[in-house]
């Protein structure tokens, strides 16, 4: 019997390659979506620490520069600015999904030697020098001392 020589197949067919590329595209899209959610969650989490540190930073800035500074909240960021005006020494952007119980304007004043003078803290949790930050439905109470120490408790 005469047989035709069998052709040896090498590589993949075009259909197989398209299926693999389609599956990889779906997996990559899912990973990017989940990665973005994780990045947003991490940004909000790091904001909690930044808020805690901004009071200490303001007190040490006033002490080291022998000047008076204030912590200003404009609804979108917290910024340490010189009392006489000028550019912000340090600022923290408020991420989306985060709410603060602060009214816009000057929140506290920092003066040498590292003293914190409360100007506009609502005192809505744990005492008069406190405010609340809500992140992902969880409320955190920030209580500020006269020297810039911050005590944070989850409500």
Instruction: Look at 32 and 101; give whichever has higher pLDDT.
Output: 101
Percent of the chain with pLDDT strictly greater than 70: 92
Q: Please give the residue that has the higher pLDDT: either 126 or 104.
A: 104
Tell me what pLDDT residue 126 has: 64
Please provide the average confidence, as pLDDT, over all residues in the chain. Answer: 85
Tell me the pLDDT band of 114, cut-offs 50, 70 and 90: confident
Query: What is the per-residue pLDDT across 23-74, written as a single tens digit (0 to 9) for each?
Result: 998 888 887 777 777 777 777 778 888 888 898 899 899 989 888 999 999 9
% of the chain exceeding 90 in pLDDT: 21
Q: Which tokens go with 25?
A: 């595209």
**Region 92-102 average pLDDT:** 88
- Starting at the edge strand that comes first in sequence, how are the strands of the sheet with 150-154 ordered? 98-100, 130-135, 138-144, 150-154
Angle at 60 between CA 138 and CA 106, to 5 degrees: 60
DSSP assignment of 88-144? -SEEEEPPTTEEE---SEEEEEEETTTEEEESS----SSSSSEEEEEETTEEEEEEE
Q: What is the pLDDT of residue 5?
A: 66
Mean pLDDT over 8-23 rounds to 84
Lowest mean pLDDT among 17-21, 45-49, 124-128: 124-128
Cα angle, residue 50 at apex, residues 47 and 53 outer, rounded to 5°: 155
Query: Token pair for residue 41?
Result: 């969650």
pLDDT of residue 85: 84
Buried b (16+ CB within 10 A) or exposed e, 42-76: eebeebbeebbebbbbbbebbbeeeeebbbbbeee
CA–CA separation, 145 and 110 (whole Å): 12
């Amino acid at each position: 019997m005469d047989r035709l020589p069998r052709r040896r197949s090498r590589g993949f067919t075009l259909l197989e390659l398209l299926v693999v590329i389609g599956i990889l595209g779906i997996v990559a899209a899912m990973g990017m979506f989940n990665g973005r959610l994780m990045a947003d969650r991490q940004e909000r989490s790091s904001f909690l620490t930044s808020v805690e540190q901004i009071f200490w930073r303001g007190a040490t800035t006033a002490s080291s520069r022998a000047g008076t500074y204030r912590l200003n909240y404009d609804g979108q960021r917290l910024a340490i600015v010189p009392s006489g005006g000028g550019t912000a020494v340090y600022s923290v952007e408020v991420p989306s999904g985060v709410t603060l119980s602060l009214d816009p304007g000057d929140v506290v004043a920092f003066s040498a030697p590292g003293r914190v003078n409360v100007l506009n803290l609502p005192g809505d949790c744990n005492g008069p020098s406190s405010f609340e930050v809500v992140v992902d439905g969880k409320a955190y109470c920030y209580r500020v001392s006269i020297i810039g120490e911050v005590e944070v408790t989850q409500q």
